[in-house]
Amino acid sequence: MIINERDCRHGHVISIAKQMMTAARTAPKGKGVDLIETAIVTGEDIKILSDMMIAMVGEHGMKFFLRDADNILSAECLVLLGTHEKEQGLNCGHCGYPTCASRAPGVPCAINAFDLGIAIGSACATASDLRADTRVMFSAGLAAQRLDWLKGCKMVMAIPVSVSSKNPFFDRKPKEERK
């Protein structure tokens, strides 16, 4: 039997993405409270996410969303990582308020954000260990959050994953707004 890498690449990348989700799940969490959600985006859903990113440019004017929207189309899949909002009751002040009770509505608990960051780092390290190319994208994560693909998560980031001869997520040129 001869198995060409091109014939099994997609399945391999999906396997890597699953391992990335495991790494995010097992990453340390503040107070041991796990509020992290993960998912894999593939196929036509990548195009849906790209289209949402393009649509969002008209709302906020962040032109790099156009570049990123085009860029994720080069990904075999994307790993979404998000966190639910839950105050941890530490009164640590990391959110900018002296106590959890004094925190303004809509201001996220910093511990939740720290946990998400650690999970992202763990997921990306796993991809790197497996020689897959990634890039953490705020833009694609925000679009996925808008689509509510991680139900109820307040902070979502996306990590496109690729296995190719050159990492498509670096050396990117800005895109012009489409007419």
Phi then psi for residue 79, to 5 deg, are: -100, 125
Question: For residues 158 and 146, is the Cβ–Cβ distance under 8 A?
Answer: no
Beta strands in the chain (DSSP E): 36-41, 77-83, 133-134, 155-162
Helix (H, G, I), strand (E, B) or coil at 133: strand
- Least confident piece of the model among 67-71, 100-104, 157-161, 168-172: 168-172
pLDDT(122) > 80: yes
Location of structure tokens 């809509």: 106
Residue 5 token pair: 């890498």
Q: How many CB atoms lie within 10 A of CB 2?
A: 4
Q: What is the mean pLDDT of the chain?
A: 93
pLDDT per residue over 78-104, tens digit each?
999 999 999 999 999 999 999 999 999
Which pLDDT score is estimated for 22?
Answer: 98
Residue with tokens 């050159």: 166
Percent over 90 (pLDDT), the chain: 84
Instruction: Walk me through the domains of the chain, giving residue ranges and CATH numbers.
Output: 5-162 (3.40.109.10)
- Predicted confidence at residue 179, as pLDDT, reads 46
Q: How far is Cα of residue 66 from the mean position of the Cα atoms in its chain?
A: 17
Instruction: Please give the order of strands across the beta sheet that includes 36-41.
Output: 36-41, 77-83, 155-162, 133-134
